[in-house]
Amino acid sequence: MSKAPLTLYLAAPRGFCAGVDRAIKIVEMAIEKWGAPVYVRHEIVHNKFVVDGLRDKGAVFVEELSECPDDRPVIFSAHGVPKSVPNAAQARNMVFVDATCPLVSKVHIEAQRHSDAGLQMIMIGHEGHPETVGTMGQLPEGEVLLVETPQDVAKVQVRDPLKLAYVTQTTLSVDDTADIVAALNARFPAIVGPHKEDICYATTNRQEAVKAMAPKCDAMLVVGAPNSSNSKRLVEVGARAGCSYAQLVQRADDIDWRALDGIKSIGITAGASAPEVLINEVIDAFKSRYAVTEELIETAIENVEFKVPRVLRVPA
Ligand code: SF4
């Protein structure tokens, strides 16, 4: 039987960002430098395939520093950690490497700077996400107020409406965040915001590519993990941009072929922590069932690269 034709739109940019790339390199280089096991506090990036691969090489993933022995190196994940974590590692004389994405560290510095200038901080983010916990944890407990929606802005109780600043999680929906920022500006006209968006280039670029791709597709798949904030946002952006079926899949096995019955086009993208090998696996699954014509929807070219920390660039 001949295969049905299918146009496969591939979003670009998609998949790994510079912060994820750097974090994975940090774990690999740490194992090379110090030998296994190297401990990693929290999933280095939110992707099971990546985590399993690093575990095979000698990484041990834990949720808390208290689970790490004093005499093995520990790495902090790309999402960032509250200040109390490196402080505790220092107090125990541990060797630690911070794999926090430099773009998250920039937000940490911003929060500290505003607080030092006497401004109360508001964070736009998702409660419980490790990046939000890490950024809020740059200041003493209770100092940073969290808002997740414009409705939260209406309810938030501040010390002085004239002395306020806000920061955001880096992986939010650009459009939802604009609504929350508009609500903050309307209620607190004196509030100070970042010079340039805290939402990072990778999140912004992946959402832009999806906006361009989604209206063309009968269905859209985002390769990514269920706990990956930027991947989940891509699903929402795709649905909002006009694609009636937008789903998150971790890999090809998750594709619901019955739901895709009769489609003529599919859009594929991937969150910033999803490796290209899983994207190719999904593409190959379509090629095995359909006569695929590939089309790239490219809305930006990325050439961002972050250096690994110095301690890993010098020999042991
Ligand atoms: S998604 Fe953005 S903030 Fe997060 S690791 Fe990648 S570049 Fe850094």
Delimit the domains of the chain by residue range: 4-16+201-298, 18-100, 103-187
Task: Check pocket membership of 203 for ligand 1, CB cut-off 6 A.
Answer: yes
Looking at residue 183, its pLDDT comes to: 98
What angle do the packed helices 48-57 and 18-34 form, to 10 degrees?
20
Mean pLDDT of all residues in 166-179 = 96
pTM of the model: 0.96
Mean pLDDT of all residues in 257-274 = 98
Is 298 labeled as catalytic in the residue annotation? no
Tell me which of 46, 103, 135, 207 to substitute to probe ligand 1's pocket, judged by most ligand atoms within 8 Å of the beta carbon: 103
* pLDDT band, very low/low/confident/very high, at 78 (cuts 50, 70, 90): very high
pLDDT of 179 > 80? The answer is: yes
* pLDDT band, very low/low/confident/very high, at 316 (cuts 50, 70, 90): low
* C-alpha 89, offset from chain centre: 25
Looking at residue 196, its pLDDT comes to: 77
Tell me which of 98, 101, 206, 234 to substitute to probe ligand 1's pocket, judged by most ligand atoms within 8 Å of the beta carbon: 101
Using the mean position of ligand 1's atoms as its centre, give its distance from the Cα of residue 103 in Å.
7
Looking at residue 1, its pLDDT comes to: 75
Task: Check pocket membership of 20 for ligand 1, CB cut-off 6 A.
Answer: yes
Task: Check pocket membership of 77 for ligand 1, CB cut-off 6 A.
Answer: no
Looking at residue 118, its pLDDT comes to: 98
Which CATH code is given to the segment(s) 4-16+201-298? 3.40.1010.20
Q: Which two tokens stand for residue 37?
A: 């096991």
Q: Which fold has domain 18-100?
A: Rossmann fold (3.40.50)
Atom of ligand 1 nearest to the CA of 101: 8
As a three-state string, the secondary structure of 110-153 is HHHHHHHCCCEEEEECCCCCHHHHHHHCCCCCCCEEEECCHHHH
- The residue whose CA has the least distance to atom 7 of ligand 1 is 19
Looking at residue 314, its pLDDT comes to: 79
User: Residue 143 carries which side chain, given as an amino acid letter?
Assistant: E
Q: Which two tokens stand for residue 255?
A: 């594709």
Inter-residue contact 312 to 75 (CB < 8 Å): no
Q: Which two tokens stand for residue 21?
A: 């790339």
Tell me if domain 4-16+201-298 and domain 103-187 are identical in fold. Answer: yes
Which CATH code is given to the segment(s) 103-187? 3.40.1010.20
Looking at residue 315, its pLDDT comes to: 73
Atom of ligand 1 nearest to the CA of 102: 8
Task: Check pocket membership of 18 for ligand 1, CB cut-off 6 A.
Answer: yes
Atom of ligand 1 nearest to the CA of 23: 5
Mean pLDDT of all residues in 86-111 = 98
Within 10 Å of residue 223's Cβ, how many Cβ atoms? 31
Using the mean position of ligand 1's atoms as its centre, give its distance from the Cα of residue 180 in Å.
21
Residues composing the chain? 316
Q: Which of 43, 131, 276, 302 is catalytic?
A: 131
pLDDT tens, residue by residue, 205-226: 999 999 999 999 999 999 999 9
User: Residue 288 carries which side chain, given as an amino acid letter?
Assistant: S
Tell me which of 98, 203, 207, 234 to substitute to probe ligand 1's pocket, judged by most ligand atoms within 8 Å of the beta carbon: 203
